[in-house]
Structures are given as structure tokens and as C-alpha cells.
Structure 1
Amino acid sequence: MEAIGGVRGVVESLLPGLVFVIGFVVTRNLGLTVAVSATLAVLALVVRLLQRQAIMGALSGVAAVAICLVWAWFSKDARNYYLPGFLTNAFWIAALLISVVVRVPGIGALVEFVRNPTLSDLSSWLRSWREDKPLYHAYLKVTLLWVAVFALRLLIQLPLYFSDQIGYLGTARLVMGVPFFALAIWLSWLCIAAPLHAHRRDEDRIEILKTDNNDLRADDAPVDD
């Protein structure tokens, strides 16, 4: 729940899209639907600003909604509200598959960069987790899991897009949005947790040995009179 911003984060993420699909299905007025959805997204950001809360989540939500609404408005086609999402899904499928081919699983690289961010000595950084076979294979499985997540979204939603089923498309987009991603995050953690815990334990053991060796060398050093 913390990863997706709690209940409030879920509501802020789902509400503009929910209002868009319901509003357009009911009114068939694209201009009105776009205006109401945009207002809700901006209002969520303004409320967070007034409450002096972190705004990055709300700000990214406004940016994402704005891109979708702009596509829909300028194309004069409500279906194109969902087009940026299709492009994003396709990009991540390609990026994650390439990461698997080059043996640097994308999800693993992301997790390890969050754990230990580095922009230098990348070879050592890569070896530190790629040579841990259980951890590497867990990262590989989870990366393929996310490829399946993005591919399943396209497989279900693209036929609805091309058949102009906006109501069903909007519903599928909402269900396969935050709830679907939350499930994928949970499954990812179940897969990664044990090997990552073992890897951290090994890292701590190595650090202790290094500290002990440094202490021994310091004790053996000659003392000046």
C-alpha cells in the first residue's frame, strides 16, 4: 500500500480515468469529459500542495493524465485517451526483453540501483548481484513476470481499442491499472524476498570480515615511540 500511495494514492490514480470513461459513455461529449477529468487531476495536486504533503505522486499523475487527455482532444477521438498507455506498455516490453537478452534483468537492475545507487565501477556493481545465482534467477523471473503484465494489458485492451469499445476499454484499463500493478508488485516481492535476504546477509558477513581484517592490520602496525 505504501508503494502505491495508500488508499488516497489509489483513489487519485483511478478517479480521473474512471470519470473519463463514465463521463464519455454517458454524455458522448469529449470536451466536457476532458475538462472534468483534467480538473479532478489538478484538484488532487492542489489539495496536496495546500496540505503541504509530498506532491511527486500527484504531479506524475497529473502529467500522465494530461498526456492522455491531449491525445484524445487533438485527435477528436476518445479512444486515444488510452493510446499513450499502449505505447508505454510496448516500450517496457521491448526494454525488459532486451535486458533479459543482455543478461542484466531490468527489474533486478532497478532494485539493485535503489539498494545501492552507483554511476561508477559498474562492472563491480553488476558482478555483486549477477554472480549470486539464486538472486539473479529471481530477478530474471520477475522481469519476465513484468513482461507478461505489460503484454497481457496490450492483448486484452488493443482489441477493445480497435473495435471502439470505449466503455469496456476504460473498465479494463482501470482494473489492469493500480490493482493489477499492486498484485504484480506483491508477486515480485514473494519471488525476490528470500534470495535478496540471503544476499544481504552475505553482504553483511563480508563487511564484518573486512572490518575485522582492518582492525587486525591496525593492531599489528608498528607504534612510533
Structure 2
Amino acid sequence: MTVTDQNQHRRHHDRAGHDEETPPGPLPTTDPKPSVLDQMGGPAGFVYSTVPVVVFVAAHAFLSLAMTIGVSIAVALALTGFRLLRGERFSSAIGGLLGIAVAAGIVAWTGSAKDFFLIGIWAALAGFVVTFGSVLVRRPLSGLAWNLVHGGTHDWRADKAVLRAHDIATLAAALVFGARFVVKEWLYLVDSTGWLAFAKIAMGTPLTVLAALVVVWAFRRSTKRLVPQA
């Protein structure tokens, strides 16, 4: 065996021995981050917001207004009890019930089924005014929220890229609120209760998720630029 062969044999032996002594360990695993939809309650949250609306419209097609109100509240109570049994927070579970109760109360007072959606219509207008107004005064709402979450000590408005990101995120939220108000108000004026229900469902969670994705992007961009990384 030549000197070269001996050296190659020695290197191969050392490498094999090293591999035997330090076997590779398991690859580190990381838990997947919850999606925006998961953080908003997931598919179950979408169902919880949809069922009372569908029940109200379906019941109104066959029952009197008083019976429709009773059925809606009964379903809301059953849904609240189910959510509490699943271990959800009391505030989250009771919130849906209160919303249905208030909407049903307005319907009982006015005697018009379309008024079941009145709170959502005016809430959309208020949301548009607040979000769009915050952009006009150069204090976009998502930026204020980000700074509050991070201790309220960052001069985030001085960073043009961060300010622009929050302008975009807050305008996305304003667009969602504005679209909801325009569409639902028009359907309300033409007295289309069925299409109001469809608009509430179609423009509810799906559009909220889209706007939330833009807000999450703005939050991450702000954190990357302004918060020192470990």
C-alpha cells in the first residue's frame, strides 16, 4: 500500500468513526403559526356568525315576525350554550347572543325585518369614518395599535416606510367598512332582506380576513424595521 493509499484509508476511517460517535439527532420541529382565520376563531367563528342570520331569514319566510324573533333568540341561546360547553371564553360566547338580542329588539320595536341588519350597517359607517379619518390626520389606526402593543415608545411615524405600510393597512380596513356600508345601505333602501343576509355573510368574515392579512403585513414590517432583533 502506498503512502497516498494509507492517508486516504486513515481519513476514511476517521470520518466513519466520527459518524458512529455522533449520530445525527432529530431535526428540530416548529409548531406552525396559526393563520389569520384561526386567530379570528377559525371556520367555527364563521359558522357562529352565519347561523343566526340564516335562521332569521329562513324563519321569516315561513313564520310571523314575532315567531321569527323567538326562533332567532332560541337558536342564539343554544349556540351560546354550545360554545360555553366547548370551553370558549364567556365574553366571546355571550357577545354573539347580545348582538342577536339587540338586533331582534330593534326588529320588535320597528316591526320591520330588514332592521335586523341596521346595527351592522351603521357600525360599518362608523368603522369607515374612524379608519379613513385616522389616515387623513396622518395617524393610521393600525400604526397606533402596533405602537400600543409594543409599549407605546416607538416614533413609528418618523419612518416613512412604516407610516406608508400602516396607511395601506388602515385604508384596506376603511375599504372593507365602506364597501359594507354602501352595499348594505342600498339593499336596505330597496327593502331586500334576503340579499341583506347574503351581503352580511359574504362581506363578513371573508373580507375581514383579507383586511387582517394587510394589517399583519404592516405589523411585521414595523417590527422588522423598528424593534431590535435578538
Shorter-chain TM band: 0.7 to 0.9
2:121 to 63, 86, 106: 86
Q: Which runs of 5+ in 1 are unaligned?
A: 119-124, 209-225
List structure 1 runs of 4+ shifted beyond 3 angstroms: none
Match of 1:203 in 2: 227
Match of 2:45 in 1: 9
Tell me which structure has the larger Cα radius of gyration.
2
Alignment of 1:131-150 (within 5 A): 131-150=158-177
Q: Please give the TM-score of this superposition, normalised by the length of structure 1.
A: 0.78
Question: Does residue 1:99 correspond to 2:134, yes or no?
Answer: yes
Matched residues, percent identical? Answer: 26
Query: Between Structure 1 and Structure 2, which shows a larger proportion of helix residues?
Result: 1
Q: Matches of 1:51 and 1:167 in 2, distance apart? A: 31
Q: Secondary structure at the match of 2:38?
A: coil
Match of 2:109 in 1: 74
Q: Which runs of 5+ in 2 are unaligned?
A: 1-36
Q: Does structure 1 retain, via aligned residues, the 8 Å contact 2:187–2:195?
A: yes
CA RMSD of aligned residues (A): 2.0
Match of 2:194 in 1: 167
Q: Secondary structure at the match of 2:195?
A: helix
Residues 53, 160 of structure 1: CA spacing in aligned structure 2 closer, same or farther, 3 A cutoff?
closer
Q: Secondary structure at the match of 1:82?
A: helix
Q: Does structure 2 retain, via aligned residues, the 8 Å contact 1:68–1:82?
A: yes
Q: Does structure 2 retain, via aligned residues, the 8 Å contact 1:21–1:170?
A: yes
Partner AA of 1:90 in structure 2: L
Q: How many Å apart are 1:194 and its aligned residue?
A: 5.1
Match of 1:189 in 2: 216
Q: How many Å apart are 1:197 and its aligned residue?
A: 4.2
Q: Does structure 2 retain, via aligned residues, the 8 Å contact 1:12–1:58?
A: no
